[in-house]
Chain A
Amino acid sequence: MQALSNIFWLGIKEIRSFLGDWLLVGLVIWAFSGAVFEQSKGLSDAVNNASVAIVDEDNSTLSRAIRTALYPPYFQEPELISADEIDAGMDHDRFMFVIVIPPDFERDVRAGNQPSYQINIDATAVAQASLGAEYITHIMMDEIAHYAQPGAGTAALPVTLVSRRAFNPNGTQRWFGAIIALVDQLSMLTLVLTGAALIREREHGTIEHLLVMPLTSVQIALAKVWANGLVILIAFTLSLLLMFQGVLEVPVAGSRGFLLFGTALYVVAAAAIGIFLATIARTMAQFALLMLMTMLPMMMLSGGMTPVESQPLAVQYLTYLMPSRHYVAFAQGVVFRGADFAILWPQVVAMIVLGGAFFAGALMLFRRSISASK
């Protein structure tokens, strides 16, 4: 009972300290509003606004028709250039794709000579390059077929394919971007806020004051976790209602209560990592560097930026140790697929286990770090 009361009152103190620092409050607000908005809006389809140039050595009705077939939002209006401009244009990144239509192209198509045309692709942006090339090939095929046999459409295949996307039928890029932005900010803020709260208390010496009172290190750590976690969770909830569902208009398919429950679990796990790092670090500089080393893999390898199953196996095993990987899967499941506990229990269990493990590790190091700080 007394333990719970201690944890509660220490946490209240923690929240008061946070609210007293307008800079922290301001940054948290920005992270959950402006940053989420920009990140989700900024993400576009893999091929968007791509720069194209056409070298038209044919200058026929067909080639002119092709020029007008590439249009926004996928492609910018194609620029007409000469063959000797290709290299410089691509070197300077003016064009991502350059289509070269050879002389007598139209005549050869008509004659059934099956002429070739060239697509130069800047292959340093792998994702955009492959998809963009595919789009261009399809558009070209349609255009040529339309020209050769008006009204016939593409050469009909013997089997029709009907593709449907589940959970996001229109493929609105913003939806996925929004959830990832929210997860990223959530991870970073929880980690930094909790860790910094501990470092600050140690640098000001108040931690020792706490340790001579009838408090255990578990209580001190738990208070930091719940208080900072609650601040973040409230910010998250507001962001979910106002920014995520309000401004960005992303529908939440599953139960919002369940989403909050999972988020709370994740926040505890992330806060435990924050405490863990703050305990290892002796100074703010070291904490900052450790934080970077943790945050970058968490942001880049948890499935938000690239799918986990494309990673090499060794890295996949590593990502199992990151609570963020499970949370990304969890949040996607609830928001887009409307999944419930029956489906997502492995993620929930993983977050509990990892959170517990990091917390236990942090506690073990906690006492030691106090005695090491002279």
Chain B
Amino acid sequence: MYNAEDGSVSNVSGPILRAEALSHHYGQTAALRAISLSVPAGQMVGLLGPDGVGKSTLLGLIAGARKMQAGGLEVLGGDMRAASHRRAIGPRLAYMPQGLGKNLYQELSVQENLDFFGKLFGQGQHERRARIARLTHATGLHPFLARPAGKLSGGMKQKLGLCCALIHDPDLLILDEPTTGVDPLSRRQFWELIDAIRAERAGMSVLVSTAYMDEAERFDWLVAMDDGAVLASGSPAELKARTKAPDLEAAFVALLPEPKRAERPSLTLTSRAPGTGAPAIAAKGLTRRFGDFTAVSDVSFEIERGEIFGFLGSNGCGKTTTMKMLTGLLPASEGEAFVFGHPVDAEDLATRKRVGFMSQAFSLYGELTVAQNFTLHGRLYGLERHAMQARIAALVARFGLAEHLEARADALPLGIRQRLSLAVAIIHEPELLILDEPTSGVDPVARDGFWALLLELSRRDRVTIFISTHFMNEAMRCDRISLMHAGKVLVCDTPAAIAERDGAGSLEDAFIAYIAKAEGIALEAPPSTPEAAPVAPAQAPGAIGGGAAGDAAASGFSLTRLLAYSYLEMMAVLRDPVRLAFSFLGSAILLIVITYGFSLDVDSVRFAVLDEDQSPMSRAYADAYRGSSYFALNPPLTSAEEIDRRLRDGSLSLALQIPPDFGRTLARGEVPEIGAWIDGANTARAGRIESYVAGAHQAFAAQLARGAGIELEARQLALAEPRFRYNPSFESIYEIGPKSPALLLMLFPAILMAVSMAREKEIGTISNFYVTPTRRLEYLIGKQVPYIAITAVNFLILLLLVTLALGVPVKGSFVTLVLGTVLYGGAATGFGMLVSSLTRSQVAAVFAVAILTMLPTIQFSGLMQPVSTIEGGGRVIGSLWPTTYYMHLSVGAYTKGLGLTELWSDLLALAAFTPVLVLLASLFLKKQEA
């Protein structure tokens, strides 16, 4: 077990992990095929192999982030199937997922990120401060404590990720491709840092995956993987000896199964006839700024026709931005770009037909099959049907895609997908190919095959190729390369010339020298070497509290962790003021529009009269209507057909027909008949109009009687005495004013909550929840609290509007209203959480929340009619929907002047929603990835 005194792991001899027949599938695709493996403890172990061979899956399983499917896996002496074991070893593990800063919170500063991870492991403020100081000093991040993680360079992000992983002194550190996409200098520094840490904590085991073969030399123990299986494991020397290979890349290739090995072509760059005419691409002083950040600064180069031009640099150095400017996707802030002698113009479709574009990330539609991808691109490039079929057939044969034609593109292995991308990009036989990191993450053999195709395209078809990459050995195959770093082109020449300049020897060394020069770093004493800044200057790492304390805090429900999530979420929301403004301002505007415009009153009913009598009496009858504000008189009707027509076209809602001889019949003491036609399309409205008509009719009759000296009223047997309670002036604002906030406080928080949860899943920070000792409820409630607070603030804004702008005072208990709002906020966000626990993407979450909340909130919660008057399923839905109770409570507190004694039942109902919804959400929320 871990020993805090000397920082070592006592059972060094035993394996730190043991896998037996471990398999994993994603749908039909096998990621791991019955792997059996035993890894010794206390070593630096490298998982070697290209992307998509199952490295990340294996690491995810080891870290407990993925749910096991088949086979057995023991990590740190226990079964990873057992949730109790996973929870117990949580504090002894650290996991840094693949992708630059994937598990970091981009909006948060370096300090806040580190603090968050410290809190998750139950560290007190003192301890955290000491640890953070120590780690950031060692990594050189200390000066950047206040900078948001999203604004760090790729190398710095990875260092921060490492700090976050090391904050709790793990016994097992799992790093998934920590150096992919990082510039060579940062990469070198990163490994030196790891060495320094290991030198100091001998007991710590490190498990690293990498696609860079040259990095593998530094590992104690290697596991070479391919296609979901382990090819071989052992020390680098052993592997090389076994395969009799000079270096590990050759050893890896030698380990591959026979058919794959045979494919490896010899790549020789044949000489090239000089290009003629205008250069394929010319960039002159290209500059691009995003706000105050300069992504690309004064970049100039020319690419001759037929040339292979390599563009080297780390992630985020400006390669992609430059390429976007050259394709017209992004306007340049300064400078000019020319393609085939024409200035780049976003609207120039003719030039685009001469260019092919490919990037690993976004060249294909994953949901379409290979054949469908081909046809779509062929069609979009306007190929004629027969020519297209011939071209597709040729490409399928040339790229060896025949057996995959009906497979969905996202189900293909990466190497094949990449070949397909290239095939699709050249379907229209472009003269210029722009390739943005096409080979990142592809295994060496597939990469060689890909390059063979590129060379053929260049030399045989004389296609100009502009390719970006961060593999040094690929750069050697280009005619010319340019090194880019931090937005600037450092050098542009043939690879051989660059490698030999300054006597660097290799391209990588030359690159490092250039970056160091650009950053003004003296390579002899890099700041992060152990000599310059020891990782633990005075204390042994375990001494500041130790792992044991973390163990104790890990078990059971922890308020600290819950609050850590709340704080995190709060900071993230506050850093995105646009979202907050949308939510507050949006709901305020909506409140005004709805309360002002949404009138339940029916008035100004458009009516016209067909007066077939034209007597004073008939005019008097019409006057009874004209005098009322309920009715608005329209030009008279002239025929019975017109009644039909004008009702039909909607210009009238009511037509009155006064029969001929109306006046005379009346005078004779007989009873004439008035016809009233009402537009019955809107039934509720028709009902109101009907009763208005009856009222006006009655008024006429009363007037008539009065003229004859009879008080109709006096003839009534009894008089009704209506008492309009709560709202004596009978204005609908007293109804709609308190009801509108109930709508808005449901919809806005539910959507915000759902998006926030779904976003974590999409960008990957959810992995922190998977691998740390965080419990489901801590995570859910922790994330919910800030949104309930936002709901409360939103409520206050709406309250001010309702009381001050609309003049609807809170006559009842304010405290009850606030209490109800908080409970309601819990219910609304709880619903958002439940929906997003069931969905995987933000799109799906928004779609589902919108469709599922709108109907019950607007129709079944008593906005238009009390829930008790709704029929059928709507009534059931309404009584199970929180808005019903809050709307009732709100009307009660505002207009009816009620308090806790009358409204406790609503509070009780509202209080019941939150626990039910949160528990349901926690049921569906997985603590591991599938």
Are A24 and B599 in contact, with the CB atoms below 8 A?
no
0/1 string, A28-51, CB within 8 A of B gives 1: 001100010111011111111111
Are A300 and B598 in contact, with the CB atoms below 8 A?
yes
Are A176 and B671 in contact, with the CB atoms below 8 A?
no
Chain B residues, Cβ within 8 Å of A45: 683-684, 687
Report the Cα distance A346→B718, complex, angstroms: 51
25 interchain pairs, CB-CB under 8 A: A13-B372, A42-B871, A42-B874, A48-B869, A114-B719, A124-B735, A141-B717, A141-B718, A159-B697, A159-B701, A164-B677, A165-B680, A208-B324, A212-B434, A213-B380, A288-B846, A289-B583, A297-B597, A307-B685, A309-B604, A309-B605, A310-B601, A315-B593, A333-B650, A343-B650
* Stretch of B70-78, B262-270, B854-862 on the interface side: B854-862
Contacts A43-B865, A109-B717, A164-B676 aside, 11 further interface pairs with beta carbons under 8 A come to A38-B874, A115-B718, A116-B719, A118-B721, A125-B865, A162-B673, A214-B353, A284-B759, A299-B854, A305-B598, A329-B650
Q: Which B755-775 residues sit within 8 Å CB-CB of chain A?
A: 755-756, 758-759
Chain A residues, Cβ within 8 Å of B671: 156-160
0/1 string, A108-139, CB within 8 A of B gives 1: 11001011111111111111111101101100
Residue B873 contacts which of A21, A42, A305 (CB distance < 8 angstroms)? A42
Q: Which B714-748 residues sit within 8 Å CB-CB of chain A?
A: 714-728, 730-732, 734-735, 743, 747-748
Are B716 and A114 in contact, with the CB atoms below 8 A?
yes
Are B688 and A46 in contact, with the CB atoms below 8 A?
yes
B362 on interface, CB distance cutoff 8 Å: yes
Q: Min CB distance, A47 to chain B, in Å?
A: 8
Which A-B residue pairs are the 9 nearest by beta carbons?
A: A42-B874, A165-B680, A315-B597, A205-B362, A123-B727, A284-B842, A168-B680, A123-B724, A336-B681
Chain B residues, Cβ within 8 Å of A200: 841, 843
B691 on interface, CB distance cutoff 8 Å: yes
Q: Min CB distance, B54 to chain A, in Å?
A: 24
0/1 string, A316-338, CB within 8 A of B gives 1: 00110000000001001101111
A264 on interface, CB distance cutoff 8 Å: no
* Stretch of B167-175, B187-195, B241-249, B890-898 on the interface side: B890-898
* Stretch of A238-246, A356-364, A366-374 on the interface side: A366-374
Are B844 and A126 in contact, with the CB atoms below 8 A?
no
Report the Cα distance A125→B868, complex, angstroms: 12
Are A46 and B684 in contact, with the CB atoms below 8 A?
yes
Are B650 and A312 in contact, with the CB atoms below 8 A?
no
Interface residues on B, range: 35 or more
0/1 string, A137-161, CB within 8 A of B gives 1: 1001100110010000001111111
B672 on interface, CB distance cutoff 8 Å: yes
0/1 string, B307-334, CB within 8 A of A gives 1: 0000000000000010010011111000
Report the Cα distance A155→B716, complex, angstroms: 8
A188 on interface, CB distance cutoff 8 Å: yes
Find the residue from B346, B596, B677, B866 having the highest chain A CB count within 10 A. Answer: B866
* Stretch of A77-85, A88-96, A227-235, A255-263 on the interface side: A88-96
Chain B residues, Cβ within 8 Å of A37: 873
Residue of A nearest to B856 (CB): A38
0/1 string, B831-865, CB within 8 A of A gives 1: 00000000101111011111100110011100011
Contact A212-B327, Cβ < 8 Å, known A159-B701, A374-B290: yes
B301 on interface, CB distance cutoff 8 Å: no
B870 on interface, CB distance cutoff 8 Å: yes
Q: Min CB distance, A118 to chain B, in Å?
A: 5
Are B847 and A196 in contact, with the CB atoms below 8 A?
yes
B752 on interface, CB distance cutoff 8 Å: yes
Chain B residues, Cβ within 8 Å of A23: 839, 844, 847-848
Are A169 and B722 in contact, with the CB atoms below 8 A?
no
Q: Which B816-841 residues sit within 8 Å CB-CB of chain A?
A: 839, 841
Chain A residues, Cβ within 8 Å of B705: 158
Report the Cα distance A47→B765, complex, angstroms: 52
Are B851 and A35 in contact, with the CB atoms below 8 A?
yes
Contact A371-B330, Cβ < 8 Å, known A2-B382, A165-B680, A333-B650: yes
Residue A44 contacts which of B375, B717, B870 (CB distance < 8 angstroms)? B870
Residue of B nearest to A196 (CB): B843
Q: Which A46-76 residues sit within 8 Å CB-CB of chain B?
A: 46-51
Q: Which B661-693 residues sit within 8 Å CB-CB of chain A?
A: 666, 671-688, 690-691, 693
Residue A163 contacts which of B361, B377, B690 (CB distance < 8 angstroms)? B690
Q: Report the interface size for chain A: residues with CB under 8 A from the other chain.
A: 152
Chain B residues, Cβ within 8 Å of A299: 854, 858
Residue of A nearest to B755 (CB): A285
Residue B730 contacts which of A123, A204, A287, A297 (CB distance < 8 angstroms)? A123
Are A309 and B851 in contact, with the CB atoms below 8 A?
no
Report the Cα distance A205→B360, complex, angstroms: 11
Report the Cα distance A309→B654, complex, angstroms: 14
Are B846 and A196 in contact, with the CB atoms below 8 A?
yes
Contact A16-B372, Cβ < 8 Å, known A39-B874, A114-B717, A124-B896: yes
Are A125 and B866 in contact, with the CB atoms below 8 A?
yes
* Stretch of B363-371, B489-497, B543-551, B562-570 on the interface side: B363-371
Chain B residues, Cβ within 8 Å of A91: 892, 896, 898, 902
Chain B residues, Cβ within 8 Å of A352: none
Are A124 and B678 in contact, with the CB atoms below 8 A?
no
Chain A residues, Cβ within 8 Å of B511: none
Are B687 and A155 in contact, with the CB atoms below 8 A?
no
0/1 string, B563-606, CB within 8 A of A gives 1: 00000000000001011001100100110011011111111111
Find the residue from B368, B621, B681, B751 having the highest chain A CB count within 10 A. Answer: B681
Are B381 and A214 in contact, with the CB atoms below 8 A?
yes
B648 on interface, CB distance cutoff 8 Å: yes
Q: Min CB distance, A55 to chain B, in Å?
A: 13
Chain A residues, Cβ within 8 Å of B327: 211-212
Are B755 and A140 in contact, with the CB atoms below 8 A?
no
Q: Min CB distance, A347 to chain B, in Å?
A: 9
Chain B residues, Cβ within 8 Å of A237: none
B704 on interface, CB distance cutoff 8 Å: yes
Are B732 and A38 in contact, with the CB atoms below 8 A?
no
Chain B residues, Cβ within 8 Å of A157: 671, 697-698, 701
Are B379 and A6 in contact, with the CB atoms below 8 A?
yes
A271 on interface, CB distance cutoff 8 Å: no
Are A290 and B727 in contact, with the CB atoms below 8 A?
no
Q: Min CB distance, A209 to chain B, in Å?
A: 5
Residue of A nearest to B756 (CB): A285
Are B846 and A119 in contact, with the CB atoms below 8 A?
no
Q: Min CB distance, B391 to chain A, in Å?
A: 16
Contact A209-B680, Cβ < 8 Å, known A133-B722, A311-B599: no
Q: Min CB distance, B305 to chain A, in Å?
A: 19
A266 on interface, CB distance cutoff 8 Å: no
Chain B residues, Cβ within 8 Å of A205: 359, 361-362
Report the Cα distance A134→B690, complex, angstroms: 11
Are B604 and A332 in contact, with the CB atoms below 8 A?
no
Residue B600 contacts which of A27, A306, A312, A337 (CB distance < 8 angstroms)? A306
Q: Min CB distance, B102 to chain A, in Å?
A: 16
Contact A371-B379, Cβ < 8 Å, known A204-B362, A315-B597, A337-B681: no
Are A167 and B680 in contact, with the CB atoms below 8 A?
yes
B1 on interface, CB distance cutoff 8 Å: no
Are B859 and A42 in contact, with the CB atoms below 8 A?
yes
Contact A215-B851, Cβ < 8 Å, known A128-B866, A166-B677, A176-B683: no
Contact A315-B596, Cβ < 8 Å, known A10-B380, A374-B290: yes
Residue of A nearest to B697 (CB): A161
Contact A90-B718, Cβ < 8 Å, known A192-B850, A209-B357, A292-B748: no
Report the Cα distance A46→B73, complex, angstroms: 65
Are A166 and B680 in contact, with the CB atoms below 8 A?
yes
Q: Min CB distance, A341 to chain B, in Å?
A: 11
Find the residue from A51, A140, A292 having the highest chain B CB count within 10 A. Answer: A292
Are B718 and A144 in contact, with the CB atoms below 8 A?
yes
Are B721 and A310 in contact, with the CB atoms below 8 A?
no
Chain A residues, Cβ within 8 Å of B789: none
